[in-house]
Structure 1
Amino acid sequence: MPEELKNVVIVGANSSMSVIQSIHKKLPQTHRIVLIEANEYAFFPPAALRAGVAPSWENQVVASLDKVFGEKSRHVLIKGTKAINFDDKSVKVDKTTKLGDNIPYDILLLATGSNYAFPCRPDTQSMEIKDHLKTMQDEFKKAQKVVIVGGGPLGVEMAGELCERYTDKEVTLVHSQGDLCGKEVGLHNELHKQLTKLGANIVFNERVDNIKEINFGYGDERTIKTTSGKELQADYIFNAMGTKPNVSLVQAFDESLISDKGLVKVNDKLLVDSPKLGRVFAMGDIVDVDELKTFVNAKRHSSYIATNILSLSTGKEASKKYSTGPTIMAVAVGMKGGAIRLGCLSFGAWAGSFKGRTLFTDIFQNTYKPLD
């Protein structure tokens, strides 16, 4: 093994794990993986809403990173550490690590995901995250009137979790559009039917007028005012108003690499589209690719990027071109319901429950078992 290894630096330990699984044994002995993760643990957003409602589920969305690479592995884990900027040669981190605070790379992969409201993204870097989820569970148990702001997948899935578990609570979902989870009528109809059957009250084509005055979360009963003048009472207000891609690293390097959609410009190899950065990949929620930002599509990116990383590491060109797959969206309504959109077709509860039963937490937990 050469004395000075070249680094394949990967920022973000969620969607990138499929890449790591594919390359960790195939990289030439000249290279090693350096995985940088801001948190002390791995976190699984697709099941986070249930973890904020259902006791014991906090254990399903958190996994240890410590044994991903074996003790004798040449690959390196740097956890609880944030990447704060990068250039064409190295990544700067927010603390001194075993590799210093300026980590050189031969190849870089940015898998920084999106920023969501808690619990879909952690509110702490430490393992206290489990206690925070338990607190949220307790608060939902005490709440009597819950208003969910936002009728995309986050809002629909939270309404489903609450209505399925607590039949005695008043759950209202306020949505600015006329269709749940986009414009696909079949998907909307299935989700609307199932939520209504569970007892959810859905307010369509309304925005919250006093949004800037609202304190999200649990507390004293307060009033939500909609743009039409409707007033709703709530002692728990949940923010499901969407996501913001975490593109700050690329933006700090070169703001022109951020598209009008707020996403990172990439070429057909999923390389950041800059002549200054010929060996920097991006994947998942942050890339400007015309497709839904989903767990499925992030997994799809992985196989292409893994192949191209292996090519670069052996002196070849990155040549595998990314092509989008069929549109797939799975939205759970509790453990027994939901709907799936596959291309132009939609399927109801019998298919949607495929996601709802486990929310893929079994796959998540297996992902972080030792690789070596």
Structure 2
Amino acid sequence: MPSDDTTRTSSPSPTFWAWFLSLFSSQHPPAHVYEMAEKGSKKNVVIVGGGSAGGAVARELSKKLSAAQYEIILVDARPFHTHLPAMARIAVTAEESLEDKALMGFEKLFHNGNGTIKHGKVVSIAEAAPGKGGEVVLEDGERIPYAALLLATGAVWPDAIQLPETDAATKSHLGSWRDKFEKANHVVIVGGGAVGLELAGEIKQAFPKKKVTIVHRDTQLLNAAYPDKWRKDIERRVRVRNIDLILGDSIEDLSSENVNGVTTANGKSIPDADLLVPAFGAKPATGFITTLGADVVTATGTVKVNAHLEVAGHPGVFAAGDIIDWQEQKQAAKAGAHAGVVVANITAFLNGQPPKKAYKGSPEMILVPLGKTGGSGYIGLLWGIVLGDWLTKTIKGKDLMIGMARGARGL
């Protein structure tokens, strides 16, 4: 599970784990009038997307920028931030009502209230000229001027963990998926990456007797960003939990979730399958960003950035999180490293200075809980460190790092 984009016992606390990771990586608010101030008055810093990266930048800028000089405006289509590392469990079961803590409001995100939340969907960017600011245009026609802009819109995930944009629709979505998982006799998950593995583990945790099969296109789980030794380790742990694996194969017809048996591309029949769950193919949510320029977004939907995480050819416009065109696994855990670079460089830009920080990438680290009792993890340092059941459940599996994430957002 992307965690972009991942407990409480006498073992290391979430705070400790946040510190450890940092060693290796560089009621709605009242209506607000957004006007680009005249020279000498307040300037708008606009952040589109309040997820792990956008939220981290907003919070840090609210400490660093003077409220007398700058208005920080965070625009997000949802009234809450989704803590994605918890979504596999939340989608499967209502136990512990985790959504009450994992879906986090924005009310305490800004230090000393130094910022404004705008709920809306950005549909285009109207740049005045490169380096001269511009406006973001919302779906309802509202235009919000900016002096500096951060694009941190995240990704669109497989349906089971992709939440709608309102509280009521989210409640209905979760209820529907929980009902599907509970009623199914044999769940077939298509995709053996982190999302698929965590979903399988949570289903087995909640319904130990339910049949679960993962179909994965590669001959090993996850992908080649991770070493074979770890991919084999997690495969062993998956099989021990009586989760069936079909590797080196795929299911092409994903048009219906409710099925009466399925057949793989290689002809293997799963006659008793009755629920088909795609768990792959997260896509960058960057459709509107092409309005900044046709050459800004790659063919795969990622945003072209330079080493300062500034959008190529557009000074003062930055990008962070899952949407950047960078050769690394997309995980929320990398948001902190992105945010540190962006905050330094937005501040420098506003002060008329050259960029201060360059992003040099982050080591690949991943924790994949298979339910509450274990899983496997990998830290891409030294010789490559493999974490087993105890550390995986202690660091992530028990509370899915919800406490740490809430603390990082002032909750």
TM (norm. structure 1) is 0.90
Superposed CA RMSD in Å reads: 2.1
User: Is residue 197 from structure 1 mapped to residue 237 from structure 2 by the alignment?
Assistant: no
Letter in 2 for 1:92: V
Q: 2:60 aligns with which of 2, 8, 22?
A: 22
How far residue 259 of structure 1 moved from its aligned partner, in angstroms, is 2.7
Partner in structure 1 of residue 294 of structure 2: 255
How far residue 127 of structure 1 moved from its aligned partner, in angstroms, is 4.3
How far residue 333 of structure 1 moved from its aligned partner, in angstroms, is 1.2
Partner in structure 2 of residue 42 of structure 1: 81
How far residue 67 of structure 1 moved from its aligned partner, in angstroms, is 4.2
Partner in structure 2 of residue 130 of structure 1: 171
Partner in structure 2 of residue 345 of structure 1: 385
CA distance in 1: counterparts of 2:273 and 2:164, whole angstroms: 23
Post-superposition Cα deviations, 1:137-175, rounded to whole Å, max 9, x if no partner, equal 232112111000111111111111111221111101111
CA distance in 1: counterparts of 2:284 and 2:268, whole angstroms: 32
3-state DSSP class of the match of 1:48? helix
User: Is residue 103 from structure 1 mapped to residue 140 from structure 2 by the alignment?
Assistant: no
CA contact (8 A) 1:152 1:242 kept: no
User: Is residue 158 from structure 1 mapped to residue 168 from structure 2 by the alignment?
Assistant: no
Structure 1 segments (4+ residues) deviating >4 Å? 1-4
3-state DSSP class of the match of 1:322? coil
Whose strand fraction is larger, Structure 1's or Structure 2's? 1
Letter in 1 for 2:302: L
CA distance in 1: counterparts of 2:308 and 2:89, whole angstroms: 35
CA contact (8 A) 1:58 1:134 kept: no
Letter in 2 for 1:298: A
CA distance in 2: counterparts of 1:138 and 1:366, whole angstroms: 32
User: Is residue 237 from structure 1 mapped to residue 280 from structure 2 by the alignment?
Assistant: no
CA distance in 2: counterparts of 1:325 and 1:366, whole angstroms: 22
CA distance in 2: counterparts of 1:187 and 1:358, whole angstroms: 23
How far residue 130 of structure 1 moved from its aligned partner, in angstroms, is 2.9
Uncovered stretches (5+) of structure 1, i.e. residues with no partner: none
CA distance in 1: counterparts of 2:181 and 2:43, whole angstroms: 49
Post-superposition Cα deviations, 1:222-255, rounded to whole Å, max 9, x if no partner, equal 1211122111132221110221111212223222
1:300-311 equivalence runs, <5 A: 300-311=337-348
How far residue 261 of structure 1 moved from its aligned partner, in angstroms, is 4.2
User: Is residue 226 from structure 1 mapped to residue 267 from structure 2 by the alignment?
Assistant: no
CA contact (8 A) 1:52 1:58 kept: no
Post-superposition Cα deviations, 1:179-235, rounded to whole Å, max 9, x if no partner, equal 1111321221222111111111110111114x15x312xx4x412111221111322
Partner in structure 2 of residue 76 of structure 1: 116
CA distance in 2: counterparts of 1:351 and 1:306, whole angstroms: 32
Which structure is richer in relative contact order (CA contacts within 8 A, separation 6 or more)? 2
User: Is residue 13 from structure 1 mapped to residue 45 from structure 2 by the alignment?
Assistant: no
Letter in 2 for 1:24: S
How far residue 26 of structure 1 moved from its aligned partner, in angstroms, is 1.4
How far residue 260 of structure 1 moved from its aligned partner, in angstroms, is 4.5
CA contact (8 A) 1:64 1:368 kept: no
Partner in structure 2 of residue 94 of structure 1: 139
CA distance in 1: counterparts of 2:105 and 2:301, whole angstroms: 32
Distance 1:69 1:348, change over 3 A: closer
CA contact (8 A) 2:201 2:371 kept: yes
Partner in structure 2 of residue 334 of structure 1: 371
CA distance in 2: counterparts of 1:90 and 1:124, whole angstroms: 23
Partner in structure 2 of residue 168 of structure 1: 209
3-state DSSP class of the match of 1:321? coil
CA distance in 1: counterparts of 2:279 and 2:82, whole angstroms: 19
CA contact (8 A) 1:167 1:199 kept: no
State the identity %.
29
3-state DSSP class of the match of 1:52? helix
Distance 1:171 1:332, change over 3 A: same
3-state DSSP class of the match of 2:167? coil
Q: 2:316 aligns with which of 279, 293, 301?
A: 279
CA contact (8 A) 1:50 1:158 kept: yes
Partner in structure 2 of residue 267 of structure 1: 306
1:116-127 equivalence runs, <5 A: 116-127=157-168
User: Is residue 185 from structure 1 mapped to residue 223 from structure 2 by the alignment?
Assistant: no
User: Is residue 206 from structure 1 mapped to residue 243 from structure 2 by the alignment?
Assistant: no
Uncovered stretches (5+) of structure 2, i.e. residues with no partner: 1-36, 128-133
CA distance in 2: counterparts of 1:284 and 1:131, whole angstroms: 28
User: Is residue 319 from structure 1 mapped to residue 362 from structure 2 by the alignment?
Assistant: no
